[in-house]
Amino acid sequence: MIDNESGHGTEELGKILTDALCVVNAIGYPETAQRMNDDKEDIYICFERKISAKTVLNQKRKSRFRGMYVAAIALPVIFSVAYTAYRTGFRSGRHIASHNLIEVTAPYGTITRVTLPDSSTVTLNCGSKLTYPALFEDERQVSLSGEGFFNVAKSSATFTVHAAHVSVKVLGTRFGFKAYDDDPYTVLTLEEGSVKAIPANENEDDGILLKPEQQLILNNKTGEIHRQVVSRQEYTSWKDGILTFKNLTWEEISVILERRFNVDIHIASEKVKNERFVALFKYGENIEQILDKLSYKRPWKYIKRNNTIEIVEN
């Protein structure tokens, strides 16, 4: 029980606590203020222990400086509880946020740039989707369906990109990762740093390390893996709006153009599908300009109706 003298102190403590709650709420932490309000009983208990232990002042000085004395004891207790409540809420909020997933989609015809919670950036190619938590905790993990260029911020925490057929683990690096669900191949192109590619159903110890200017190609159907040295610009220039076709078939090119310009391309001839091209198109060239150049002196022509393009033999 609290004696009369400390009873007066408790009344004054209640006033101080009310004022403190108002301050905490006003500076932008209403949830912390609510937790302090819920924990008022604990504050009173702490205060009673403190007040009963402080018996060095005589009765006259207690009476004269009671308000100051109560405040001197109460405020550290209150703000200690407030800080604990805030930190608990902050940690709890981080845990909840780490399980709150954000999904960003780059529609056909759109290249989208995303900044992640650790300041890493991802450029998503047309028709791609990236899923990541609102906050990273011990590990940084994201999921990709489509194509993305990753510029990963350096950190002691591992950064992992999960895709349907391959996962990629890094610490800090720049790389292109093409992993569309309906593509026959998954392609990983390293620009800077180092990465480990881990095929689905494989252990991390069996992962494949890549060095800059190396590329890994996985056949999604057979599981066959090929590693080669490449010029990275040919495979990552899309993020700057540049299209580079190096010995690609017209069928392969049509898929890229469909995603880039949000069109449907139909190729009437199997012979035309297998034609191969080497070409580069700068940023800003439209679909008609590209088709005009591709069809130059070729045995086919294109017919465009709205968003549908027919490729037919001459």
Identify the pLDDT of residue 201. 85
The pLDDT of residue 137 is 85
Q: What's the pLDDT score for residue 142?
A: 98
Look up tokens 């004054």; give the residue.
12
Q: Residue 50: what pLDDT?
A: 42
Q: How far apart are CA 273 and CA 223, in angstroms?
A: 25
DSSP 147: E
CB neighbours of residue 163 within 10 Å: 22
Q: How far apart are CA 253 and CA 48, in angstroms?
A: 78
Token pair 């550290």 is at which residue?
76
Identify the pLDDT of residue 35: 52
pLDDT of residue 89: 52
Task: Give pLDDT, residue 123.
Answer: 98
Question: What pLDDT score was predicted for residue 90?
Answer: 47
Biggest CA-to-CA distance, the chain = 110
pTM: 0.69
Pairing assessment for the beta strands 185-192 and 195-199 based on DSSP bridges = unpaired
**How far is the C-alpha of 212 from the C-alpha of 229, rounded, in Å?**
9
pLDDT at 214: 96
Tell me the two tokens of residue 99: 């399980």
Residues of the chain with pLDDT under 70: 1-99
Are 232 and 216 in contact by the 8 Å Cβ rule? The answer is no
Rounded to 5°, angle at Cα 188 from 187 and 190:
150
Tell me, what's the pLDDT at 14? 57
